[in-house]
Amino acid sequence: MMGPRVLFYVQHLLGIGHFRRSALLARALAGAGLDVEFVSGGEKVEGVDLGKARLRQLPPARSKDKDFSAILDENGREIDEAWRADRCAMLLSLYRSLRPDIVLIEMFPFGRQQFRFELVPLLEAARSDPGQPIVACSVRDILVDKKRPERQARIVEMLRRYFSLILVHADPAIVTLDRTFPLAKQIADLITYTGYVVDAAEVSGSSADRAQGDVLVSAGGGAVGLKLLMTAIDAKAHSRYGDRTWRIITGANLGETGEATIHKRAANHSGVVVETFRPDFRQLLEHCLVSVSQAGYNTLLELIAAKVPSVVVPFSSATESEQTLRASLFAERGMLEMLSEADLTPVLLARAIDRAGTPRHHEVDLGGAARTAQILIERLRRSKLR
């Protein structure tokens, strides 16, 4: 017998962080007995474990650049009205065939406004459905603050119109939604904190072999990590760990030109190993001497779970500030070293790596995946009793 049906929508545009976090949630939901249709609108991601959840791939879309100046289809063309109409029709058809008990949407309406063309019709379909599905928003700990009050007011209006629940994947002892969404008090009755979402079971936090480990440098999917990887290679000569192996994990989205650039630079330094992808990355993380990375949600929480000495260099741009705030919140608690992109030089990075020590112990709620499933199941149970 199938459990309650869930339509879980996620749209990643630049890296794969949103997809990875959502995939972990989908796996937890399915593991708790829900029948999960995981609907992805981004580029295909290989090797992600969805457990019993089923992947439904929409025609993929991605951002043209890190400033999100345009949305491109799988052929690299800017999406047009015909493309939008076709994808909206596919999503609505899926909704009608599934008739879900729960509609879970990642980020929207806090983000992904470029996809209103399909998400508003989806929300209208759920709102007019006699079955009255629970409609929930899945959102990370920190939003990108656009400082536009009129936009924030529209978000509140949409949440009030369509959503019955906002699942904030954070520990409120670290940060609450009002830190980056000033109108949070107006939707306080909708907000539930789940704890951070991370697969803590895959990292035990053991440091038994760490003293003999590598310096591990990574940049998530790699889409915006070239400068960090290049600087880390040059930092080896300035670090007290210069005699150790420095392992560079480039990520699948760095691109051929970026890969070639990294390999060329590494060839001039002994003891530098370059790899695109390691399926055992979490095990490498658990046993490395020091980790050097950006500060995306998934990466940073894996560092916290593994209790690994860490240096993070948050990705930042004119439109992106969330990594910097997240990193600073954990750095001020002594759980990692932070270096800004503006200060990213080989010498300063080497100094940060040399300073990185055993992180201070803080109790951080990392049970967000399982708790999300519990919250949704309980909310559904209560709705059936009405």
Per-residue pLDDT, 360: 84
141-156 average pLDDT score: 88
Per-residue pLDDT, 15: 80
170-181 average pLDDT score: 96
DSSP H or E stretch at residue 231: helix 226-235
Per-residue pLDDT, 256: 85
Per-residue pLDDT, 270: 93
Q: Write the pLDDT tens digit of every residue in 70-91.
A: 999 999 999 999 999 999 999 9
Q: Write the pLDDT tens digit of every residue in 87-137.
A: 999 999 999 999 999 999 999 999 999 999 999 999 999 999 999 999 999
Per-residue pLDDT, 2: 76
Q: Write the pLDDT tens digit of every residue in 246-296.
A: 999 998 778 788 889 999 999 989 999 999 888 888 889 988 999 999 999
Per-residue pLDDT, 16: 85
CA–chain centroid gap for 373, Å, is 18
Per-residue pLDDT, 222: 63
Q: Which residue has the tokens 């670090």?
A: 239
The residue type found at 173 is A
Asked if 177 and 150 touch (Cβ cutoff 8 Å), the reply is no
In this chain, the answer to whether the domains covering 5-197+367-385 and 201-355 adopt an identical fold is: yes
Tell me phi and psi for residue 280, to 5 degrees.
Answer: -100, 30
Per-residue pLDDT, 219: 86
Average the pLDDT over each of 49-53, 142-146, 172-176, 339-343 and give the range with the smallest value.
142-146
Per-residue pLDDT, 350: 98
Share of the chain above pLDDT 90, in %: 76
**Listed residue (10, 374, 364, 8) closest to 175, CA to CA:** 364
Per-residue pLDDT, 275: 93
Q: Write the pLDDT tens digit of every residue in 367-376.
A: 999 999 999 9
Domains in the chain: boundaries = 5-197+367-385, 201-355
Q: What Cα–Cα distance (Å) separates residue 31 from each residue in 49, 79, 213, 313, 355? A: 12, 36, 34, 34, 41
127-152 average pLDDT score: 91
9-31 average pLDDT score: 94
Per-residue pLDDT, 286: 87
State whether CATH 3.40.50.2000 applies to domain 5-197+367-385: yes
38-60 average pLDDT score: 94
Per-residue pLDDT, 335: 94
201-355: CATH topology: Rossmann fold (3.40.50)
Cis upstream peptide for 109 (omega within 30°): yes
Q: Write the pLDDT tens digit of every residue in 296-316.
A: 999 899 999 989 999 999 987
Task: Give the length of the chain.
Answer: 386
Judged against a pLDDT cut of 80, whether residue 355 lies above it is answered with: yes
Per-residue pLDDT, 319: 62
Judged against a pLDDT cut of 70, whether residue 205 lies above it is answered with: no
**Which position has the higher pLDDT, 221 or 348?**
348
Per-residue pLDDT, 359: 87
